[in-house]
Amino acid sequence: MAALIRVDVYSSVRGVASRSRRRGEEIVSSLTESLRQVMAVDGVRGAALIDIATGMVVAAAGGQAEDFPAAAAGLADEARMTRALLGPGRPGGQLEEVSVFTKGRLHLAKVLDSRLGDGVLLFIDLDRARGNMALASLRAAQLAPAILA
């Protein structure tokens, strides 16, 4: 299983840069472990964390990682559009996840709350013949606290 993780931490103060680098390494380790746990679900082909505000891939794992940037932008747009349609205070509550079913794949984009910005999506790409959407959704909900820590 290949993992593509990139975290950039910048600071102009030497001591802060050292602490920031260590914290950045802890974040990368936590994200890597969380994505590995998602990849362990039967039928998962790939997983990614997507910044909803920008549509950028924060972290990705799996064999299809090169396809994530285009999918990430589209999923982030979908999440923003759906939130706009629901609007604040409308019946039905907040957007929790977006599911897409195709002939050979299942895509799940679970909205993870964030204290900053619009939050992140945990995107899971499943093989339709082997995947279980309910199990993937449950696992994503269980891993959310660790991902956001």
Number of Cβ within 10 Å of residue 147's Cβ equals: 22
Domain containing residue 13: CATH number: 3.30.450.30
What is each CA distance from 135 to 9, 28, 38, 47, 68, in whole angstroms?
34, 25, 10, 14, 22
* Domain coverage including residue 110: 3-148
Per-residue pLDDT of the chain (149 residues; tens, 9 = 90+): 343 333 322 233 333 344 444 544 555 567 778 888 888 889 999 888 899 989 998 888 886 666 778 888 888 998 888 888 877 666 666 788 888 898 998 989 998 875 556 788 899 999 999 998 898 889 888 888 877 76
**Number of domains forming the structure of the chain:** 1
